[in-house]
Amino acid sequence: MQAIPGSIEAVETLLSDQNYVTGRALATVAFLALKLGRPLFLEGEAGVGKTEIAKALAAGLDRRLIRLQCYEGLDAASAVYEWNFPAQMVAIRTAEVTEGTDRETLTDELFSDRFLIRRPLLEAMSPQPGGPPVLLIDELDRTDEPFEAFLLEALSDFQVTIPELGTIRAPEPPIVILTSNRTREVHDALKRRCLYHWVDYPDFDREMQILAARAPEASQTLSREIVAFVQRLRTEDLFKKPGVAETIDWAKCLLALDVIALSPEVIADTIGAILKYQDDIQRLAGSEAARLLDDSRKALAERP
Ligand SMILES: Nc1ncnc2c1ncn2[C@@H]1O[C@H](COP(=O)(O)OP(=O)(O)OP(=O)(O)O)[C@@H](O)[C@H]1O
Ligand SMILES: [Mg+2]
């Protein structure tokens, strides 16, 4: 188990050791979340590194990563615990044919650890050999308000009560990271418990650093062209702008095709790596890709 980093710079180093590039603002809020033991709430566009930072932190701190993936209709049973009903039925049947099992022992047995299915929140509240885990509550905006209210409670006292077993309390609170794509606003009460950071698209220099970390095979010249083009593309009015994930994917596609420089033809052939909606792809048809490429090259020429 790695100790909690003692400074903002130490957080930056810990993350960069995991090939995760942060700016000062994100490193600061992550440092504070760790230091004060507060949940970190990250909001931002798709593919900007919200989920990845939780993975990088867990790996860097040598902690277990426990992920609760949110979706519509997620309820406490799927988030905290469930009884293994089929296994309980089998145990009851077996007891019926075995003589001498008394009812009380059977009931105790049926609601013991053996038949308990631990879901992510219960796991995160249970003692972990490597120290408090990183609990990633991913894409919170996909759940509904009742679940959010439930979560608020779970996050305020870090304990879970199972009527048949009693209360399970985290010996030390887990490191909690929540993410949202902001398809709806998350309730103020929950946000108030957390430190908040909006994860934006990286600027040119940071995206170059990310590409160097994640697609180191790409040459400096090609990387610069890729990043400049993607940055230019993001200023267009698109239905879904390319995230950092798309930039990395695109670089890998271009490398696989042995491309050394962008051209309108290459862009047309590989556009599916950066744009995922037909309407957006359509916008780039004809001379539009060439125009954006020209623009991005002009911007590159002006860079030192
Ligand atoms: N700052 C960064 N440093 C290194 N890699 C990054 C960074 N940001 C994004 N990436 C890369 O982009 C990929 C996508 O990031 P991630 O899955 O964290 O995005 P997200 O914000 O969670 O997106 P979504 O909202 O779609 O879930 C990661 O696998 C990682 O390779
Ligand atoms: Mg994510």
User: What's the pLDDT tens digit per position in 65-86?
Assistant: 999 999 999 988 899 999 999 9
| DSSP string covering the chain | -PPPPSSHHHHHHHHHTTT----HHHHHHHHHHHHHT--EEEEESTTSSHHHHHHHHHHHHT--EEEEE--TT--HHHHTEEE-HHHHHHHHHHHHHSTT--HHHHHHHHTSGGGEEEPHHHHHHS--TTSSPEEEEE-GGGS-HHHHHHHHHHHHH-EEEETTTEEEE-SS--EEEEEE--SSPPPHHHHHHSEEEEEPPP-HHHHHHHHHHH-TTS-HHHHHHHHHHHHHHHTS--SS---HHHHHHHHHHHHHTT--S--HHHHHHHGGGT---HHHHHHTTTTHHHHHHHHHHHHHHH--
Atom 5, ligand 1: residue with shortest CA distance: 20
Q: Ligand 1, closest atom to CA 55?
A: 18
Please compute the mean of the pLDDT values over residues 272-288 and round it to a whole number. 91
Atom 7, ligand 1: residue with shortest CA distance: 49
Residue 178: predicted pLDDT: 97
CB atoms within 10 A of CB 153: 10
Q: What are phi and psi of 84, to 5 degrees?
A: -80, 90
User: What's the pLDDT tens digit per position in 173-207?
Assistant: 999 999 999 999 999 999 999 999 999 999 999 99
**pLDDT over 70 for what percent of the chain?**
100
Residue 123: predicted pLDDT: 93
Ligand 1 pocket residue status of 212, Cβ below 6 Å: no
- pTM for this model (two decimals): 0.92
Cα Dmax for the chain = 86
* CA–centroid distance, residue 281 to ligand 1 (Å): 22
Q: Give residues whose Cβ lies within 5 Å of ion ligand 2.
A: 51
Strand bridging mode 134-138 / 175-180: parallel
Q: How many CA atoms lie within 13 A of 100 on its CB side?
A: 0
* CA–centroid distance, residue 52 to ligand 1 (Å): 5
* CA–centroid distance, residue 51 to ligand 2 (Å): 4
Q: At 29, which amino acid appears?
A: V
User: What's the pLDDT tens digit per position in 41-59?
Assistant: 999 999 999 999 999 999 9
Tell me which ligand sits closest to the C-alpha of residue 138. Answer: 2
Please compute the mean of the pLDDT values over residues 122-135 and round it to a whole number. 91
223 CA to centre of own chain? 25
Q: pLDDT category, 95, cuts 50, 70, 90?
A: confident
